Structure 1
């Protein structure tokens, strides 16, 4: 019975590692909207964007089902961007 549990655990961990690797490989292609979002927030000057804004834009550009919610939460709560700019920026991030 111990072998069965170990085998299942190893299979689950390998599956998790493969899934995480797939997200990492796919992530750079999905970030196409992140710079547009950060550029919008910085008013055309990318040097003016903050780390919180860039993080929110990156999360919004991941393409995950909850990416817009993550972008909105980080943008409004962490970076403290107003609601109208948050909505537009997260739309830019999602492409």
Structure 2
């Protein structure tokens, strides 16, 4: 079986890691015990434990966003453009 974490783009790993941090912070801010966090998230005890111990690789980005919503975390996205060398990028994908 391929190593999913190894093949995942760095930006997705970083984004997923940041969202997991946000969830941990919110759970701590609400002073939730793991059992109560699990009820709010509709997650199993092992899932909450993995989240709280930083084992972010077990969760998809969509799952983390659903949990953020269940914890009352509002979010929006903005985009900005940065210069890129199109020719260099295209050559890298070959």
Aligning the two structures, in what range does the TM-score lie when normalised by the shorter sequence? Answer: 0.3 to 0.5
Higher percent of residues as helix: 1
TM-score (norm 1): 0.33
